[in-house]
Chain A
Amino acid sequence: MVLYNFKQITVVPSGKEFVDIILSRTQRQTPTVVHKGYAINRIRQFYMRKVKYTQTNFHEKISTILEDFPRLDDIHPFYGELLNHLYDKDHYKLALGQLNTARNLIEKIAKDYVRLLKYGDSLYRCKNLKKAALGRMCTVMKRVSPSLAYLEQVRQHMSRLPSIDPNTRTILICGYPNVGKSSFINKITRADVDVQPYAFTTKSLFVGHTDYKYMRWQVIDTPGILDHPLEECNTIEMLSITALAYLRAAVLFVVDLSGNCGYTIAQQAALFHSIRALFANKPVIIACNKTDLQPFETLPESDKKLIEEMRKEAARAGAGLVDGAPPDEENCMLTMSTMTEEGLINVKNAACEKLLQMRVEMKMKSKKINDCLNRIHVAVPKARDQKERPPVIPQAVLDARAAQNNAAENKRKLEKDLENENGGAGVYSANLHKHYLLLDPDWKDDIVPEIMDGHNIADFVDADILQRLDELEREEDERAAAAENGMDEDEDMSDQDLTPEEAEALAAIRRKKKLMLAEHRAKKKTADNKPVVPRRHDVERQFNTSRMGRHLSSLGLDPTAAVNRARSRSAAGTRSRKRERSEAAGGDDMEVDEQANKRMRSRTRSLSRPHKEALPGEGFKDSAQKVKAMKIGKNAVKERNKDARKGEADRVHYNKKPKHLFSGKRGTGKTDRR
């Protein structure tokens, strides 16, 4: 109910900050521009607005603060007392009162100055009035600034108080300092309270939560209490006493048996008796701690007696709670050790149980119980005769229950146990074949092949595969027999093979054909690219008679006749051989000789006059001119160059602007000639 508000209180700014915030907001949110030439009403309105706005903001902010801070009289008395002890009730109330007065003052100031502004007759006057109003409001706030600072501190501390629900199930742990209260709460709940060897380690209340019977229980750890009267207690001790006084909880009084805390059992017993009054109407349990250092049995008799007395007191206190039940002396005193954790759960359970009983009792007595009872109805069949009909439990269930009780000893061995025995999770790998259902259990551990010779065995597996295999083999044998019979026809026509000479000729034919094909292909390819040289220019001298002769003889013909003819027809032959023939031939080649001589004679006649002499009818000045003319005339007779090589006139520019000449930078040199 009241728990959450402590964390949601608005931040209280300091005096200066407060003023800054309000003034800057006024400056931002109201119009800022005014000139002295405006209408006077407009000027008045402008400044009145500012004053009113500032006042409203102050009012709002202070109101929120005043509302957020809890009123100590309206909250649960536990919290009221707590806050009183922590922050001093009077101071708190005074601070809030001062804020309230400040608010009223600011309202009055604003009212007065607005009234004055109504009669301001110039911009200068109105402006000064506004300045005065705002200034006074700010001074009021500045005067209140110590209260604001105090309230901010209070707010910060309050937001960090533990969220204790005063109405729910609570267990309160109290005792001398250093007896082991914080250790106990650390062990039972998830709270992480500081545990140190010096006294007063715990300086405020700490809350932890634990579970019992499916319900949430608050466990409150208190600072230690010393044995002196209330007036002499300091703030920290007052916290625990407040808690004891106002929370209706089960009290767990922790006693240190070993005296390790620095106080004897006598002193602790004395404390118990002095705060006995606070235990009225609360179930009390005495928890004797540190039994690992000093077990209860070996205590000296005097100490035991003291603890006995405490127990009796606790029992008496608890007796008044539950009507009709005898004072439960047994459960009032329990031993435990927070170090070894023995007896902790028992203590907790005992405390919870006692409190639960008390709360149920209270609920039964209150008015609300009737609502609950009305909703619960146990239906019982009407008894028609006196016969006893006890509930029937089948024998099997009884046997099962008995077996279950025995089962704790002989449990079935689980796979998990097997795994743990054989080396744990990473080491042991379970035998998955164990539970296979096969015709013969010996086969369980067989390693089954899946692939053989490039086939999947699973594709071949068949129950009657042997039978089919037999059929196949029979079929194969039949086929083999049939093939034997069919082999009568002789495919061996070896007499029709080629003779070695024919084979040679065939090979030669094939070679020749290949060559011709290759040549044709080469020629075809180069026809467009290379001009063909006319045969007359046989530069490589491949067309000569020896070659022809060889070719003809390879064909099987006699080349001599053809070679002779070729030789006789060539020009070189006729000129050089003319004399030889005339000498050697004699009478056989008469006809031929005469012909040759005749030709010679005609030539010699034309050669009788020197050809360079200029004859009169030819039109030359002198023989020098004629010689020049002849020379020039030879140019015209020059044979056309049919080598098909590029001449001077055959320059064709395929690429008028080659890129490498027209682009790019030069390493050295100029590029102005492009």
Chain B
Amino acid sequence: MRLEKCWFCSSTIYPGHGIQFVRNDAKIFRFCRSKCHKNFKMKRNPRKVKWTKAYRKLHGKELTQDATFEFERRRNRPERYNREVVEQTLKAMKKIDEVRVQREAKFWESRMKGKKAKERTEAAKELEQNIHLVKAPGVMKSEPGFSLPKLAEKTKVKVSTSSKVEMQE
């Protein structure tokens, strides 16, 4: 008994689920549910379909290369059963899982890092540009207590024309 990966969305296929399609060149396509199967029949490229793991990995939304992925490798040669090795493997698998999960979380964090700053600048800009929808411009000046947030980074660089002229000469 083996858990397989869906060809389209890369989720695990448990026994009793899904469909396998064998093409004339003997390549086997396994699908976890009819959604993936139907998408395949429509000849959609999983790398272009947003919700699949292939897309996410391609577009850098998920962890692609990591040492924890090296542990899980399909070996085609059967190994003779050794109880100790299997015991060790079972314990190791749990730990590897933990490590992998942590690393994925950190990856996500680093991806979302600049979000707060970006949101802030966007909010400030929107407030400044569209305040007239809510408050009349005249009122703005008369209420000094209401001030717009300062836009932090952007400072306009003023090039003095005189220096330019000097350079030309």
The answer to the question of B95 belonging to the interface, with a C-beta cut-off of 8 Å to chain A, is yes
The answer to whether B149 and A454 touch across the interface, beta carbons within 8 angstroms, is: no
Q: What CA separation (Å) do A469 and B72 show in the bound complex?
A: 12
Complex CA–CA separation, A497 to B90 (angstroms) = 49
In this assembly, does A328 line the interface, its C-beta being within 8 Å of a C-beta of chain B?
no
A506 at the interface (CB under 8 A from B): yes
User: Which residues between 109 and 131 of chain B lie within 8 Å of chain A, taking CB atoms?
Assistant: 113, 116-117, 120, 123-124, 126-127, 130-131
**Interchain nearest-CB distance for B136 vs A (Å):** 4
Q: Is the CB of B134 within 8 A of A505?
A: yes
Residues of A contacting B73 in the complex (Cβ-Cβ under 8 angstroms): 459
In the docked arrangement, what's the CA distance between A670 and B74, Å?
A: 82
Nearest-Cβ distance from residue B108 to partner chain A, whole angstroms: 14
> Given A465-B89, A502-B127, A513-B133, does the pair A456, B3 have CB atoms closer than 8 Å?
yes
CB distance from A613 to the nearest CB of B (A): 58
The listed residue (A501, A508, A555) touching B139 by CB distance below 8 A is A555
- Binary per-residue interface labels of chain A (415-458) against chain B in the complex, 1 for a CB within 8 Å, 0 otherwise: 00000000000000000000011111001001011111111111
Question: Which size class do A's interface residues fall under?
Answer: 35 or more
Q: Using known A-B contacts A440-B83, A506-B127, determine if residue A461 contacts B89 with beta carbons closer than 8 Å.
A: yes
Closest to B70 in A: A468
Q: Are A455 and B134 in contact (CB under 8 A)?
A: no
Asked if A1 lies at the interface with its beta carbon under 8 angstroms from chain B, I say: no
Contact B75 A459 (CB under 8 A): yes
Interface presence of A643 (CB below 8 A): no
Contact of A455 among B3, B95, B120 (CB under 8 A): B3
B75 touches A438 (CB 8 A): no
The answer for the CA separation of A557 and B126 in the assembled complex, in Å, is 22
A654 close to chain B: CB less than 8 A: no
The verdict on A460 contacting B71 (CB below 8 Å), with A505-B135, A556-B136 known, is: yes
Which listed residue (B89, B96, B123) contacts A457, Cβ 8 A?
A: B89
A491 within 8 A of B: yes
The distance in angstroms between the C-alpha atoms of A466 and B110, with both chains bound, is 30
C-alpha gap A501/B148 in the complex (Å): 10
Q: Which of A26-34, A470-478, A655-663 contacts B (4 or more CB under 8 A)?
A: A470-478
Across the interface, which residues of B come within 8 angstroms of A491, CB to CB?
113, 116
**B146: contacting residue among A448, A475, A501, CB under 8 A:** A501
A453: chain B residues at CB < 8 Å are: 93-94, 97
CB distance from B121 to the nearest CB of A (A): 9
Our pick among A459, A473, A505, A552 for the contact of B131 (Cβ within 8 Å) is A505
Sample of 10 more A-B contacts, CB < 8 Å, known A449-B90, A498-B127: A438-B80, A451-B3, A458-B75, A459-B75, A465-B85, A466-B92, A469-B95, A476-B103, A496-B150, A556-B135
Q: Could you jot down 20 A-B contacts, CB within 8 Å? A: A439-B82, A452-B93, A456-B2, A458-B2, A460-B71, A460-B92, A472-B67, A493-B116, A493-B120, A496-B120, A496-B149, A496-B152, A498-B123, A499-B149, A502-B149, A508-B134, A509-B126, A555-B135, A555-B139, A557-B138
* 6 A-B pairs with least C-beta separation: A556-B139, A555-B136, A508-B134, A512-B133, A469-B92, A443-B83
